[in-house]
Chain A
Amino acid sequence: GAGVSQSPSNKVTEKGKDVELRCDPISGHTALYWYRQRLGQGLEFLIYFQGNSAPDKSGLPSDRFSAERTGESVSTLTIQRTQQEDSAVYLCASSKGLPDAEQFFGPGTRLTVL
Chain B
Amino acid sequence: AQRVTQPEKLLSVFKGAPVELKCNYSYSGSPELFWYVQYSRQRLQLLLRHISRESIKGFTADLNKGETSFHLKKPFAQEEDSAMYYCALRTTGNQFYFGTGTSLTVIP
Contact = CB atoms under 8 A, between A and B. Distances in A.
A101 to B, nearest CB: 9
Contacts, number: 48
B25 interface: no
B98 to A, nearest CB: 4
B100 A40 contact: yes
A75 interface: no
Interface in B36-86: 43-46, 49, 51-52, 86
B49 to A, nearest CB: 7
A66 to B, nearest CB: 18
Contacts of B88: 43
Q: Among A41, A42, A56, A103, which residue has the most Cβ atoms of chain B within 10 A?
A: A42
A53 to B, nearest CB: 10
Nearest to B32: A100
Contact of A56 (B46, B49, B86, B95): B95
A8 interface: no
Interface in A74-114: 91, 93, 100, 102-107
Contacts of B6: 42
B43 A31 contact: no
Interface string A25-49: 0000001010100001111110010
B95 A58 contact: yes
Contacts of A61: none
A103 B93 contact: no
B60 to A, nearest CB: 18
Contact of A105 (B44, B52, B95): B44
6 contacts: A35-B98, A42-B98, A43-B86, A43-B98, A100-B32, A105-B43
Given A44-B98, A102-B49, 6 more contacts: A3-B43, A43-B86, A45-B98, A56-B94, A100-B32, A107-B43
Q: Which 5 A-B pairs have the closest CB atoms?
A: A43-B98, A42-B100, A105-B44, A42-B98, A102-B46
